[in-house]
Amino acid sequence: MLILGVESSCDETGLALYDTELGLLSHALHSQVEMHAEYGGVVPELASRDHIRRVLPLTERVLKDANKTLQDIDAIAYTQGPGLSGALLVGTSFAESLAFSLQIPTINVHHLEGHLLAPLLEDNPPAFPFVALLVSGGHSQLMRVDGIGEYTLLGDTLDDAAGEAFDKTAKLLGLGYPGGPALAKVAEQSKSSGTNPRFKLPRPLLNSGDLNFSFSGLKTAVLTLSNKHQPLDDATTADIAWEFQEAVTDLLTAKSMSALRETGLDNLIVSGGVGANSKLREKLNAATKRKLCKVSYPRLEFCTDNGAMIAFAGAMRLKAMHGSGNKNYSFSVRPRWDLAELQKP
């Protein structure tokens, strides 16, 4: 079956075609980063309007790239939530309207389920069950994944998500938007090392005995440190950025290894935008190797929001439902939607 995937939950418009026999055929993405950079963050109304402009041209592109027509599509998967209400409405209404015109089923996909399953798009995908570390601008969670729709929350952030902390810290340091990649790039210029860091930031909840995260205090510690060293020169900015990245990746790595130990599993997958961070990958690769465990990541282009993960998640759900998706073409969006609410198909 050929599945069209539609992603429009925030500031990226993603379309993709996934064939259940041949795999991913094509995908296209438009990022709104440049548009929102002027404001230092996502402006919801602008995001929604831009999705409207992009969704049809991107659909035409993925069809052309895969040498397919609208009539070849067997079902349409789209992100129903969580995300920005207006942005979600664009993708949802487009998907349901197109499906109605073609008289084919739709599959409403949870955005985080798309991220969780993204590593399965790669060669030699991990087998169920596994532990998933989901780290993005809005979420920092550890999940036990036993199958499609079988998710158990192991640990969550008590305040800021890791990606949010990266963005806010980058802003404090005057590094621009999006903050994660900007901060990581500046951190590479630091002369600090693990054995002789210039600064030392806290690792909140590192020894809490549970699998929860907390990053707001770390962000506050950066604010205090940067105020103490005003005006910040390039070297000091780089050293603070380096230590901040070290603190976050130390926490994510330690909690992930604890989750593997507590569940007795030996497979870890990492997804979400922060999953592209090279320092995090370096630490997780080393830690899992020491413990004789396996870690899997999506390719870098599929760490951030994209249509491929939605098409794939939709295809997996449709397969589990034996091809019986939704055909009543009514729709709604779910800006707030707990992943634990999902049911097995």
The reply to whether 149 and 174 lie within a common domain is yes
Domain end residue (candidates: 297, 312, 327):
297
The reply to whether 44 and 180 lie within a common domain is no
DSSP output for 17-71: EEETTTEEEEEEEEE-HHHHHTTTS--HHHHHHHHHHHHHHHHHHHHHHTT--GG
Residue 315 lies in a domain: yes
Dist. CA 243–CA 261, nearest whole Å? 27
Amino acid at 31: S
Task: Confirm if 155 and 210 have CB atoms less than 8 A apart.
Answer: yes
The reply to whether 30 and 108 lie within a common domain is yes
Q: How many CB atoms lie within 10 A of CB 129?
A: 16
Structure tokens at 2: 């050929």
The reply to whether 174 and 133 lie within a common domain is yes
The reply to whether 97 and 150 lie within a common domain is no
Tens digit of each residue's pLDDT (9 = 90 or more) over 88-112: 999 999 999 999 999 999 999 999 9
Residue 279 lies in a domain: yes
Q: How many CB atoms lie within 10 A of CB 189?
A: 13
Residue 122 lies in a domain: no
The count of residues in the chain is 345
294-296/23-31 β-pairing: unpaired
The position carrying tokens 């901060």 is 183
The reply to whether 10 and 73 lie within a common domain is yes
Q: How confident is the model at residue 325 (pLDDT cuts 50, 70, 90)?
A: confident
Of 104, 115, 96, nearest to 12 by C-alpha is 115
Residue 342, classed as helix, strand or coil, is coil
Residue 14 lies in a domain: yes
The reply to whether 229 and 83 lie within a common domain is no
The position carrying tokens 């990226």 is 12
The reply to whether 55 and 200 lie within a common domain is no
Residue 334 lies in a domain: yes
Amino acid at 82: P
Task: Confirm if 169 and 180 have CB atoms less than 8 A apart.
Answer: no
Rounded to the nearest 5 percent, the helix, strand and coil shares of the chain are: 45, 20, 35
Structure tokens at 262: 């507590």
Residue 266, classed as helix, strand or coil, is coil
DSSP output for 176-215: -SSHHHHHHHHHTT----SSS-S-----TTTTSSSS-B--
The reply to whether 228 and 84 lie within a common domain is no
The CATH code of the domain that includes 233 is: 3.30.420.40
Residue 79, classed as helix, strand or coil, is strand
pLDDT of residue 39: 86
Structure tokens at 295: 């870690």
Range of the structural domain that residue 257 is part of: 127-297
Dist. CA 219–CA 213, nearest whole Å? 13
User: Is residue 340 over pLDDT 90?
Assistant: no
Q: How many domains would you assign to the chain?
A: 2
Residue 271 lies in a domain: yes
Of 81, 60, 82, nearest to 4 by C-alpha is 60
Order of strands across the sheet with 267-271?
150-156, 140-147, 130-135, 267-271, 294-296
Residue 132, classed as helix, strand or coil, is strand
Of 298, 31, 263, 274, nearest to 155 by C-alpha is 263
Q: When comparing pLDDT for 60 and 323, which is higher? A: 60
Tens digit of each residue's pLDDT (9 = 90 or more) over 213-238: 999 999 999 999 999 999 999 999 99
The phi and psi torsions of 102 (rounded to 5 degrees) equal -95, -10
The reply to whether 49 and 190 lie within a common domain is no
User: Is residue 194 over pLDDT 80?
Assistant: no
The reply to whether 138 and 256 lie within a common domain is yes
CA atoms within 13 A on the CB side of 87: 25
**What's this model's pTM, rounded to 2 decimal places?**
0.94
The reply to whether 135 and 172 lie within a common domain is yes
User: Is residue 139 over pLDDT 90?
Assistant: no
pLDDT of residue 57: 98
User: Is residue 323 over pLDDT 80?
Assistant: no
Q: How many CB atoms lie within 10 A of CB 148?
A: 20
Residue 50 lies in a domain: yes
User: Is residue 12 over pLDDT 90?
Assistant: yes
